[in-house]
Amino acid sequence: MPARFLHDERNMWLFPVKLAEGKHWLPTAIIVGGAAVFIKEDPPLERKVRQTDIFSEYNKVLKSSVSGGLIAVVPAGFYALSLLRHDSYGQGTSLLAGEAVANDAVLMIILKAITRRARPSEFPPNGAYNDTFFATRNSFFGNGSSFPSAHAMMSFSVATVFAQRYKQHKWVPYVAYALATAISFSRVTTGAHFPSDVFIGAATGFAIARFDVLRH
């Protein structure tokens, strides 16, 4: 895994070279364009979400500790079960999910350190939510910078690994991506992240798992 991880990192950080060679322009443009739209719409969307109590029960079920625990427990539990069943393919799937999460963590920390975006919870529910980038006074670790969403990034990486490795079971992709979407959406409804944070997190998590880690 250490050798694969370093290979993943090399591919990830050399991605701009691929763009310079004229590759992957369409998906990159779609993601960048989508992020720009969400960033523009972040303030009105966040105000609507935080000024309603319709998501109160949902937020209790998928609070930060629970959703974060699910991201860790699913691959770890699946690995333990595969170990008991002597299922090397299942063990490999869990290790690939862990590898994807490790790659996510590196990119996430660097992006958070650069953008230093304030979280929605740093504003009142009816706040303007303007000038959020380079604005947080918190550390970019833990409860600090908002961009991107670590939960969205990691949940979609784990979901993508399981969805691709078990796509012969048609229900697996549906369940995997539904759970990742639910976790990601909860980051907006709890005021932890803006919609654009979640969008970029989900997109990069999917891309890292699908086009980097799963290429092994």
Enumerate residue ranges in the chain where pLDDT < 50: none
pLDDT given for residue 54 in this prediction? 92
pLDDT given for residue 141 in this prediction? 59
How many residues would you count in the chain? 216
pLDDT given for residue 143 in this prediction? 62
pTM of this prediction?
0.91
User: What are the tokens at 114?
Assistant: 């650069």
CATH number given to 2-215: 1.10.606.20
Domain boundaries, the chain: 2-215
Contact 8, 2 (CB under 8 A): no
Distance separating the N- and C-terminal Cα atoms of the chain: 11
Nearest to 151 by CA among 198, 113, 208: 198
Cα–Cα distance for residue pair 122/191, rounded to 1 Å: 9
pLDDT given for residue 49 in this prediction? 92
User: What are the tokens at 110?
Assistant: 């660097």
pLDDT given for residue 198 in this prediction? 97
pLDDT given for residue 140 in this prediction? 58
pLDDT given for residue 139 in this prediction? 65
User: What are the tokens at 151?
Assistant: 């939960």
